């Protein structure tokens, strides 16, 4: 027995030696040339997109973040559950105070059952526009993918770019009360591509070999837009999402929301003498919502191809129209968990805690002393809410430390409602204007350890119906149901998928529709849930779950690290 343990330990050591377990993240301003000009942006290690982290399933990483910029920063490990370790989760003023200029924070990233592609990004203000990168989690040593081993793996990071500094874009946005300045480009691996001025030379190029299969690890790091993504003449076979495997799903295009990831197999099975574009552009279907309608591209070249692409015509793939809601819904509801013997799932079948929350856009009346700040519809200020509460981020402390030390009163309240405070026809075409006004507050929902939660997220047509990609920290959840219109608690649960629902950390509540998610609250901590469309988050579409400790010591939040950034 002792011998066996020893051997296992030795093998683990060897296997883990393949990847670094320690990373240094230097946050600093770096000049990057895009769209004909050079601009200083916040980066990690001078890279844009930032460095990729490689790890084995279940390993623990240490990332030492040094802030050598003049801005506050925090880093979140998106899709990492961080069992019992909210201390390194990252959202500013929720689990920590920011890492201030000149200071540092050693973060511990505890991987558990995540396998596939997840990512990291800044989680304060709008810094994540340029501070983000992929995390690739490989199967445990001795295990393989539940699909044929790909010839190579390529991160495809979709992004969004402003010519102005995002700090200024955010300031102007908050000051105006209206919509943010639309972005100037979308990006594939940091590059806008051939359809933007001065960008041809930098266009990302992927070389593939006829007959081989490639694994594209696609993530959407854009700030505001759900994106359609496709490759000319090639199909994509989705095999994973948000760090969990799916049943293979083969499609001509994908729809990917900010915050989501997809692992897709690409077969090099087309005429090698052509060049092919991969391309992405926005999807949004709301009244008076502005977005940039341009297309970002990258080029696929076969190794066997001897032509010079500078004089070869390249064609774009088909992408659905900007407003094509049915296509996005069709795609996202077609996903199924792999749910195999080796990759089992455990969907809670008995629900102890039932919650329903609306997700709404709201309007605020114009303050008399600052009418310039009212560029929302009809001279109002735009806002957003869950269960009619527009979330106020604590200004001077963070919820985790306030909760853990039980010292600081008044940082948050525990009154997030279990159900919408007012029941109405949420998705009616015309709604009374008085309903558009939200309340404000820092209200959390406290959950008992190990309770089984069903949360129905109900979109509303207040101001405008829109899709909302809702992201939960600290958990993966199962998407057991969805529908258009209003959730009907009598009939809809009968159609739930409790057999192989997709396991995700970010699900789109469809425009004027709902989704039902389930999870077991077995990770004590302070975990935010919010819309991953950045302007909606800024407007307050957010809440926080506090999951209490269980009885046993191994069901408690881990002790805090020796050093947490102070406020």
Ligand X SMILES: *[C@@H]1O[C@H](CO)[C@@H](O)[C@H](O)[C@H]1NC(C)=O
| Identity of the residue, 138 or 186, whose beta carbon is nearer to ligand X in the bound complex | 186
Binding piece for ligand X, criterion CB under 6 A, among 10-18, 112-120, 236-244, 421-429:
421-429
473 makes contact with Cu ion (CB under 5 A): no
Q: Residue 4, exposed/middle/buried by CB under 10 A (0-12, 13-18, 19+)?
A: exposed
Comparing CA positions, the residue from 60, 62, 66 lying closest to residue 45 is: 66
Residues 111 and 140 sit within 8 Å (Cβ to Cβ): no
Segment interacting with ligand X (CB under 6 A) among 111-119, 135-143, 201-209, 292-300: 292-300
For strands 226-231 and 468-472, give the pairing: unpaired
Q: Which does 68 bind (CB under 5 to 8 A by kind): Cu ion, ligand X, none?
A: ligand X
CA distance 294 to 195: 8
Q: Pattern 108-147, binding to ligand X, x per CB under 6 A?
A: ----------------------------------------
Q: Which of 76, 128, 232, 511 binds ligand X (CB under 6 A)?
A: 511
Shortest Cβ distance from residue 308 to Cu ion (Å)? 44
Q: Are β-strands 152-161 and 213-220 bridged in parallel, bridged antiparallel, or unpaired?
A: parallel
Kindly indicate which of the ranges 2-10, 206-214, 256-264, 431-439 contains the residues binding ligand X, using the contact rule CB under 6 A.
431-439
Interface pick for Cu ion out of 536, 542, 545, 546 (rule CB under 5 A): 536
Which residue is it, tokens 């001065």? 198
CA distance 220 to 255: 10
Total binding residues for ligand X by CB under 6 A? 50
Q: Does 511 bind Cu ion (CB under 5 A)?
A: no
Count Cα neighbours of 28 within 13 Å in the Cβ-side half-sphere.
11
**How near is the Cβ of 362 to ligand X at its closest, in Å?**
8
Q: Which of 79, 116, 317, 465 binds ligand X (CB under 6 A)?
A: 465
Characterize the bridge pairing of strands 389-391 and 439-441.
Answer: parallel
Q: How far is the CB of 226 from ligand X (least distance, A)?
A: 13
Q: Does 349 bind ligand X (CB under 6 A)?
A: no
Neighbour-count burial of 368, counting CB atoms closer than 10 A to its CB (0-12 exposed, 13-18 middle, 19+ buried): exposed
Hey, which bits of 462-539 come out as E strands?
468-472, 477-484, 503-504, 506-509, 513-520, 525-531
Does 438 engage in binding with ligand X (CB under 6 A)? yes
Say if strands 452-459 and 353-364 run parallel, antiparallel, or are unpaired: parallel
* C-beta neighbour count of 250 within 10 angstroms: 11
If residue 281 lies in a helix (H) or strand (E), which one and from where to where?
Answer: strand 275-283
Residue 468 touches Cu ion, criterion: CB under 5 A: yes
Distance CA 115, CA 79 (A): 10
Q: Are 96 and 87 in contact (CB under 8 A)?
A: yes
Minimal distance, residue 160 CB to ligand X, in Å: 10
Q: Closer CB to Cu ion, residue 473 or residue 536?
A: 536
Interaction with ligand X in 84-113: which residues (CB under 6 A)? Answer: 97-98, 100-102
- Using the rule CB under 5 A, give the single segment among 66-74, 103-111, 284-292, 533-541 that binds Cu ion: 533-541
279 binds ligand X (CB under 6 A): no
- What does the block give as tokens for 468? 């909302």
Residues 167-206 that bind ligand X (CB under 6 A): 182, 184-185, 196
Q: Are 229 and 264 in contact (CB under 8 A)?
A: no
Least CB distance from residue 530 to ligand X, whole Å? Answer: 19
Q: Which residues contact 19 (CB under 8 A, 6 or more apart)?
A: 54, 55, 56, 59, 138
CB of 430 to ligand X, least distance (A): 8
Count of Cβ atoms closer than 10 Å to residue 61 Cβ = 21
CB of 384 vs Cu ion, minimal distance in Å: 7
Asked if residue 422 binds ligand X (CB under 6 A), the reply is yes
Choice between 270 and 450, CB closer to ligand X: 450
Q: Closer to ligand X by CB, 153 or 492: give it.
A: 492
One residue of 284, 325, 357, 538 binding ligand X per CB under 6 A: 325
> Rounded to whole angstroms, how far apart are CA atoms 238 and 263?
6
70 binds ligand X (CB under 6 A): yes
Binding site for Cu ion (CB under 5 A): 468, 531, 533, 536
Binding site for ligand X (CB under 6 A): 35, 68-70, 72, 97-98, 100-102, 182, 184-185, 196, 285, 292-294, 321, 323-326, 330, 363, 367, 369-370, 377-378, 388, 421-422, 425, 427-429, 433-435, 437-439, 450, 463, 465, 511-512, 550, 567
């Amino acid at each position: 027995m002792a011998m066996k343990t020893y051997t296992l330990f030795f093998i683990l050591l060897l296997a883990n030696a393949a990847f670094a377990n320690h990373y240094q993240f230097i946050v600093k301003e770096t000049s990057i040339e895009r769209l004909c000009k050079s601009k200083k942006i916040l980066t990690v290690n001078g890279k844009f997109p930032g460095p990729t982290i490689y790890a084995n399933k279940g390993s623990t990483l240490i990332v030492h973040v040094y802030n050598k910029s003049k801005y506050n920063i925090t880093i979140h490990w998106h899709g990492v559950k961080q069992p019992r370790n909210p201390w390194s989760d990252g959202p500013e003023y929720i689990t920590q105070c920011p890492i201030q200029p000149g200071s540092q924070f050693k973060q511990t990233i505890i991987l558990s059952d995540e396998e596939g592609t997840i990512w990291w990004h800044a989680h304060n203000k709008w810094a994540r526009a340029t501070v983000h990168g992929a995390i690739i989690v490989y199967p445990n040593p001795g295990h393989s993918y539940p699909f044929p081993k790909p010839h190579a793996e390529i991160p495809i990071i979709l992004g969004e770019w402003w010519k102005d500094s995002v700090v200024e874009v955010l300031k102007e946005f908050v000051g105006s009360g209206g919509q943010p300045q639309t972005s100037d480009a979308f990006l594939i691996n940091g590059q806008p591509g051939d359809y933007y001025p001065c960008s041809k030379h930098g266009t990302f190029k992927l070389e593939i070999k006829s007959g081989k299969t490639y694994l594209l690890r696609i993530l959407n790091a854009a700030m505001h837009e759900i994106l359609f993504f496709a490759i000319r003449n090639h199909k994509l076979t989705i095999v994973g999402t948000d760090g969990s495997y799916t049943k293979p799903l083969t499609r001509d295009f994908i729809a990917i929301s900010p915050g989501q990831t997809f692992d897709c197999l690409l077969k090099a099975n087309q005429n090698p003498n052509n060049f092919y574009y991969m391309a992405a552009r926005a999807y949004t279907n709301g009244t008076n919502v502005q977005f940039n309608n341009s297309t970002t591209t990258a080029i696929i070249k076969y190794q066997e191809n001897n032509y010079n692409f500078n004089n070869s015509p390249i064609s774009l793939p088909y992408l659905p129209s900007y407003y094509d809601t049915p296509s996005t819904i069709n795609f996202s509801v077609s996903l199924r968990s792999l749910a195999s013997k080796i990759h089992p799932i455990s969907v809670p079948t008995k629900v102890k805690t039932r919650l329903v929350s609306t997700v709404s856009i709201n309007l605020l009346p114009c303050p008399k002393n600052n009418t310039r700040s009212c560029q929302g519809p009809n001279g109002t200020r735009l806002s957003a809410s869950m269960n009619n509460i527009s979330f106020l981020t604590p200004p001077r402390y963070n919820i985790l430390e306030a909760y853990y030390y039980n010292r600081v009163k008044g940082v948050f309240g525990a009154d997030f409602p279990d159900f919408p405070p007012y029941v109405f026809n949420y998705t009616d075409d015309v709604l009374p204007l008085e309903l558009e006004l939200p309340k404000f507050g820092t209200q959390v929902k406290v959950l008992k350890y190990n309770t089984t939660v069903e949360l129905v997220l109900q979109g509303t047509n207040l101001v405008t119906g829109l899709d909302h990609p809702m992201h939960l920290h600290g958990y993966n959840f199962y998407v057991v149901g969805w529908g258009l219109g209003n959730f009907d608690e009598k009939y809809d649960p009968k159609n739930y998928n409790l057999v192989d629902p997709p396991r995700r950390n970010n699900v789109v509540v469809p425009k004027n529709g709902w989704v039902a998610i389930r999870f077991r609250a077995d990770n004590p901590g302070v975990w935010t849930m919010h819309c991953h469309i950045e302007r909606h988050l800024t407007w307050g579409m957010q809440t926080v779950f506090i999951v209490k400790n269980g009885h046993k010591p191994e069901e408690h939040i881990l002790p805090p690290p020796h050093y947490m950034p102070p406020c």
